[in-house]
Amino acid sequence: MSTVSSLSSDARRTYEGSQELTPRKGAGAAELMREVGSVLRMSEAEVAALADDQPTEDQTMILNMGPQHPSTHGVLRLMLELEGETVLRSKPVIGYLHTGMEKTGETLTYLQGPTNVTRMDYASPLFNELVFSLATETLLGIDGDIPPRAQWIRMLLCELNRMSSHLLFLATNGLDLGAVSMMLFGWREREETLRLLEMITGLRMNHNFIRPGGVAADLPDGWRDGVLRVLDLCAPRLDEYDELLTGQPIYRARLQGVGVITTDEAIALGATGPILRSTGLPWDLRKDMPYLFYDQIEFAVVVGSYGDAFDRYAIRLNEVRESMAIVRQILDAMPLGDYRIQDRKVTPPPRARIDESMEALIHHFKIFTEGFKVPDGEVYCAVESPRGELGCYMVSDGSAVPYRMHIRGPSFVNVQALPHMLRGGLIADAVAVISSVDPIMGETDR
Amino acid sequence: MSDTEATSEFEEGPVADEAEAATAEAQARFGVPATSSRGQQVLHPTRDQLVDLVRTLRDDEGYLVCIDLTAVDYLTYEAPRRLPPDVAPERFEVVVGLLALDTHQRLRLRVQVPADDATCPSLFDVHPGTEGLEREVYDMYGIEFTGHPDLSRILMPEDWDGFPLRKDHPVGAIPVQFKGVQDAR
């Protein structure tokens, strides 16, 4: 691995293409084709006809929104081309939070991996750990042997996490539209679920709790009371949100008909999660391609009908209710048993054995220093995160670290659908549209 | 800990037979070499076949969504590559994940891309959603997608040297770079 020589040869090949919006002068039919034509599957002739009545450069203005704009949920920068107050073209510029987590993932063992991936989508960290663990287990060939209790604990944690993530969305969505009291309420309920997660996993966020082979520890005493307390507390408060926002005329006027996307467009752009469901397509991996024990659970897939920002708000609000219903079923179904696989290859020996057996101590030490080796091969696993399909493509070369670990972040793909949703809308609505996509920049940039 | 034993456990028994049958069927149906990996169906088209195959899969087979597009650099890969016999291994591999919404099936395409000609046809005309994903692969691996409307770096700064996820690009061996600082490198 020669560093300098390979770098300089790469440097010569680096194409210093601009990441910014191209000037209007060069944005004729080709640019239109790229932005609307390809998504709508229009012919080039139709696009050319559309391009004829486009404004010239002196009629438009480029406005940078972000990366420090409070409504962009982190460091998303949008370049908007405006004609008056109407948004024409736009381009999301991302990468401000890029920390090379996929590269880092190639240096961490399969046991250390969840610590890394949990920091990607920081609003729903447990899903990252879950998809990483599922991919590792499939590569190991132990995906059918994970104890039922571990699987149910994973489901419990994920649904609690989905609640907290959607509550965060409700809070920030309210804030973006000027409903500041909603921000406080959403944050308050989210904190309750985070407190519960802290009780179970030890940390509010970035839990590193779901690991290859099971979960890190068994549920603590009193977990059932804690879960019930949060469920009882949240149910009436969700009804309060309905009263506060759902029927409120100003709120509806700000969201309805804003950022509309159709099913075909969402599919062409690869958008998943609430964006795809808001168009009326009931696609939810928990239902359609079940993982864990979601096939044993009764729940409804919430869909919208207009594909606008209001539908996406309503879907998330009602998904919190569905998650609460799922959590209640999990409480009834939670079996006794092991919380991690008793395969000595993956799981360290129990603490008590270390006191009496030298071999157990050595084994424990080796698992945590060298890690366990994973058979070579490649696999793609996906789960339904609060934002859409969260996938993990993992390649192993038979060593104790992944050869390649790629996370397909739903936010990354959903953010690319923004120009399409913003086009033709007002700049004041841009905030509502960005908010309705609910991007988490840690995941888009990784 | 016996590491070698576990590797041989896969692709045996009735499950492997089933996968083999499905693989043979896929090969006959799509006209490209097919394999399966941990029960997941994989096709191995060449670069020239890629766009037409993806279009056929979209129009005739119901693979409406291109869910993922990424790449792997096999420069330092030491295990056997497990490719079909008529596919020559190359340094890079572009991996496309397709999803069929009505049949609930996934399909993965692995395209070999040689190091001395790191280009691949863009899927933008078939699935516009791959635009950002292809930019990411270009940014991280330097694989140029021909026909891509706006191929530029997406995550790294525009003036970054090299392609970070290549295996000959070291981890953490580069001083922190800031835009605008003279002689940072």
- Identify which has the larger pLDDT, A147 or B4: A147
Q: What is the pLDDT of residue B8?
A: 41
Q: Is the pLDDT reported for residue A239 higher than 50?
A: yes
Q: Scanning the structure block, which residue is given the tokens 């891309």?
A: B113
Is residue A64 assigned to a domain?
A: no
Task: Give the strand pairing for B119-121 and A214-215.
Answer: unpaired
Q: What average pLDDT is seen over chain B?
A: 81
For the cut 80, the answer to whether the pLDDT of residue A235 exceeds it is: yes
Q: A15-29, A403-417, B136-150: which range is least confident on average?
A: A15-29
Peptide bond preceding A67 in cis form (omega within 30 of 0) = yes
Confidence of residue A18 (pLDDT cuts 50, 70, 90): low
In a domain, A318, yes or no: yes
Residue A380 Cα, gap to closest chain B Cα (Å): 8
Alpha-carbon gap: B113 to the closest alpha carbon of chain A (Å): 17
Interface test with A, best of B57, B94, B127, B168 (most A CBs within 10 A): B168
Which pLDDT score, from 0 to 100, does residue A3 have?
Answer: 39
Average pLDDT over residues A72-100: 84
Q: Is the residue at A137 inside a domain?
A: yes
Q: Residue A266 has which token pair? A: 């969402």
The terminus-to-terminus CA distance of chain A in angstroms comes to 25
List of chain B residues whose C-beta atoms are within 8 Å of the C-beta of residue A344: 1
Domain for residue A3, yes or no? no
Give the model's confidence band at B25: pLDDT under 50 very low, under 70 low, under 90 confident, else very high: confident
pLDDT over threshold 60, residue B182? no
3-class SS of residue B29: helix
Q: What is the mean pLDDT of residues A216-225?
A: 90
Count of A-B CB contacts under 8 Å = 182
Which of A3, A34, A398 is opposite residue B149, by nearest beta carbon? A34
- For residues A273 and A410, the answer to whether their CB atoms sit within 8 Å is yes
- In-domain check, residue A352: yes
Distance from CA of A12 to the nearest CA of B (A): 8
Nearest-CA distance B52 → chain A (Å): 16
Q: How far is CA A306 from the centre of its chain?
A: 23
Long-range contacts: B33-36, Cβ < 8 Å, 24+?
Answer: B33/B83, B33/B84, B33/B86, B33/B87, B34/B84, B35/B82, B35/B83, B35/B84
Assigned domain for A89 exists: no
Candidates B83, B91, B92, B99, partner chain A, best to mutate (most A CBs within 10 A): B99
Weakest mean pLDDT among A289-298, A390-399, B6-15:
B6-15
ipTM associated with this complex: 0.84
Contact present, B127 and B151 (Cβ < 8 Å): no
Nearest chain B residue to A393, by CA: B70
Q: What are phi and psi of B123, to 5 degrees?
A: -90, 10
Residue A159 lies in a domain: yes
On whether residue A22 sits in a domain, the answer given is: no
Structure confidence at residue A15 (pLDDT): 42
pLDDT digits over B27-73, tens only? Answer: 777 778 888 888 888 899 998 889 999 998 888 888 999 999 999 99
Domains of chain A: total: 1
Contact between B161 and A375 using a beta-carbon 8 Å cutoff: no
Read off the CATH number of the domain in which A362 is found: 1.10.645.10
Is residue B128 within 8 angstroms of chain A, CB to CB? yes
- Cβ of residue B157 closer than 8 Å to a chain A Cβ: yes
pLDDT at B11 over 50: no
**Structural domain of A257:** 101-445
Query: What would the CATH number be for the domain defined by B22-146?
Result: 3.30.460.80
Mutate to test the interface with B, among A8, A275, A413, A446 (most CBs of B within 10 A): A413
